[in-house]
Amino acid sequence: MTAPKHSLLELAALAYAEAARIETTQDALVASGLRSAPDVGKLRDAASFAALGRLVDLARGDYVIMDRLRHLTAAAPAQSKATTP
């Protein structure tokens, strides 16, 4: 089964949504009294997802990066087939 392809816009939206989900969950855990403070590791994960979203957004706005990504993704299937025994 082949995984569906995603656009960079979808990837950025997913990263932002995951960051928001983590932050919201941590806020809810503190508000409900299940935690005295947010989990610092989870907040770091949320910040990482948000940074990934920003990175994708920046890449989408740069024609040189987008052109390079097009070339890399076009070459990727050929490279993976060549290295598969």
16 part of a folded domain:
yes
The total number of structural domains in the chain stands at 1
State pLDDT tens for residues 21-79.
Answer: 999 999 999 999 999 999 999 999 999 999 999 999 999 999 999 999 989 988 877 65
Domain, as residue range, for 59: 9-78
Whole-number pLDDT of residue 35: 98
Contact 46, 62 (CB under 8 A): no
State pLDDT tens for residues 33-49.
Answer: 999 999 999 999 999 99
Residue 49 buriedness (CB in 10 A; 0-12 / 13-18 / 19+):
buried
Whether the per-residue pLDDT at 84 is higher than 60: the answer is no
60 part of a folded domain:
yes
Residue closest to 53 by CA, chosen among 12, 7, 21: 12
Backbone phi and psi for residue 3, each to the nearest 5 degrees, phi listed first: -70, 145
Look up the pTM and report it. Answer: 0.79
